[in-house]
Amino acid sequence: MTDRRSPLRCSFCGKKESHVRKIVAGPAVYICNECVYLCLEMLNQDQVATNTPKAERISALKAEIHHLHGLLRLESRLVTDLRNETERLRAKPKARPIRRS
């Protein structure tokens, strides 16, 4: 009696062992290299989708920091302008009120 082994098939896509590079055997299941690659792509897409909000948040925080730097520069200019105007007003001779007799 000869033990004729039927060709292995991927449990996911149904391709025969001869139509793929490799088949990995598991407990009562088989998966081909193409399905493994497809699974990796799906997992990577999930990872990218999960990281996207973080990347968007980082981008938003960078924009806020840039805005804050602009406000700090503006504040510095306002303080300088106020100081200069105060010094200018203090240096001006005071006008004396005219007295009527």
In tens, the pLDDT along 12-32 reads 999 999 999 999 998 889 999
The CA distance from 25 to 6, in Å, is 14
Calculate the alpha carbon distances from 83 to 6, 76, 87 in Å.
92, 11, 6
The DSSP H or E segment spanning 101 is none
The CA distance from 79 to 62, in Å, is 26
The CA distance from 72 to 20, in Å, is 63
The CA distance from 39 to 13, in Å, is 12
pLDDT digits (tens, 9 = 90+) for 26-68: 888 999 999 999 999 998 887 766 666 777 888 888 999 888 8
